[in-house]
Structure 1
Amino acid sequence: MVLCSDSEGEPKDTEDTTIENDLAANFADKLILDMEDPDVVDPAIKESYEGLPTLHHCEAVTSDGNMISTVPYTAGFVQQHNVNPSALRRITTFVSDGVYVINPARFDPAKSTAASFGQSPNKVISLPAKPMQVSRAICMSLGYVFTCNVVYPTAFGKQQAQMVKSILFGPMRAEWERSMSFFGTVFGAQEMSVNTFSASSQYIGINVRTFPSEPASALPTVDFIGATPSKRGKQKERAGTKLVPVPSRSLLDMREKTMWSTNDDVAVWDGTEYFKKDKRKTLQFSFDVLHSLPRMTADPSFGDVVMVLYSTSAYRREGASTLGLSLNLYGIVLVAHQSK
């Protein structure tokens, strides 16, 4: 596998530093990215960044100061997987479905807002829904799996006394830089703290997870896929009644909460049929088919490519000067298994 990270160079003189600062400011006011650096922008998708909305640079701050491990598009996502290049490119350059789902690396921040819901003071990236109303945006990021524990939750916390559904993944560098800058633009921040963990003491991945819950059950419930289990068994919906929202049932339900609990039915769907190399040309993935995809009974493995669906909220811990960024898991779509 090919992973990219910045390395420390030799000390630079004042003139060089000034030039670099000027360049950095120039990118911050324009595309954010060093378009000519192949380690930042893969040449295969370079032109897809031209004409994207202007963003204000926002730095991802990790607790240990380590750089997030990023994966190159061609060497990491295309060449290591039996994937249809056109289908992968199409989802990589996805902007929005026009209603629910956005790609923060490419969506226009002017078309979104930061809104609060209920009693929570935390702001959530949202989209206009009706006049004078907004709804939570479902964000989508393409990722290279480091570890995944969604079908089978994992222990969480200092005492490992809680359970959490969680994925740790590596993004493409250009997509991640633009996503962070999108978040910073919407939340009005130049830097935000990000939850990261290491996998096998080698890879620093972005962590997207549910709200930790007491370990009521670490095993998946497959008898009630797409609905909330009832102690009395399955019941038909009565006329005029509304089912309790479940993130695996629909995009409308998915965005009903900012953060779902570990005990909620967060789905992992198998979308590989839409991305495999020998797929039919007429078969194209859209989020309209998401909830009709087959459910997976095992978690994606290291090296698999996935779409991660999540809400994005900002919070500030007491005494902290930096806004915290919370990526809250809504669901996962498997795009391709790593080639053996």
Structure 2
Amino acid sequence: MRRITPQPLRSRPTVSVVVPCYRYGHFLPACVRSILDQDGVDVDVLIVDDASPDNSATVARRLAEEDPRVRVIVHEVNRGHIATYNEGLAAVHGEYLVLLSADDLLAPRSLANSTALLHANPDVGLVYGFTRSFSDEPPPARTAPRSWSIWPGEEWLSLLCQRASNPIATPEVVMRAKTMQDLVGYDARLPHAADFLLWLRAATRASIGRVNGVDLAYYRVHGENMHMAQYPGALRDLTERKRAFDILFDEDGDHVPDAAQLREAASRGVAREALVVACQAYHRGFPTDEQAEVLGRLAELAEQIFPPSRTTRLRRSYDLQVARASKGKGPLVPRRVTALRNRAVDHLRWRRFRRSGIDGALGWL
């Protein structure tokens, strides 16, 4: 990985932003305004409404009437989010592409900061950075980049396989149009991890860049996007994450040096994440019967995808906690101590992510 000093944007690139929308008409004006107000780039916006039952199409058409840079496609029948993404991305012609959900926002100077890195480094196919969460009003954004990080694609892919985590929130991604065209969009086989697979595949074709020290986007946290319970959500996420790795190595293995070793590293990493979630749940107290069933499936997933995990310290810890819970006994370590430890670990993980741009659990199986 190279960490270099940012360079100013020396051209005015064209950026096409696709805004898929389903029932988010009330969020559309703020989303589109965050795009149209971007400095230093020429933007166009394509809103693709997937047959929303609310007034999303009406709002989208009004926004298009108010600004010629906005276009609208309205589906008569709901086609699902993956088909909506791909249709929008195939219909725009900017030098760089962004997919931004209608409930999210771009931060000020986001596109100028990202395209500056892409313009100065033609080998980079995808740029990401830091996305801040918000509920009502987004906090002030950091807009002056501290540095750029650039990984050769194989190095970044290796790190993601080892950590088995997705360091990208999605709203902040800017991709070179040529890279997206080569990848042919999102994979409908992975409705919840298609973005992760796309990032992995991008790393097999190009270098990966990150803008450090700035906020590139805002992810809106609200009831409509918090629809999965914690442990079922983790099970679904890790199952699809493993599937994403399998598709990558099965179908793009000829683009991946040391594919066999990286596949094993990815399996090990996903198994570790599954056991970490299961252990932490018991450390917090007594799971309900329903939660315990899901946690058991996480442990089974770990063993299925990486059989040696059955004899690891993490698995032994999980089995011990299950045995104690079956006898009505709580965690060996007081919950208050566990909470303090978890906060410390989360803080270290957070600091590492902010510094390196790569997420993932601390430690290894």
TM-score range, shorter chain: under 0.3
TM normalised by structure 2 equals 0.27
TM normalised by structure 1 equals 0.28
Higher relative contact order (CA 8 A, sep 6+): 1
Q: Choose between structure 1 and 2: higher strand proportion.
A: 1
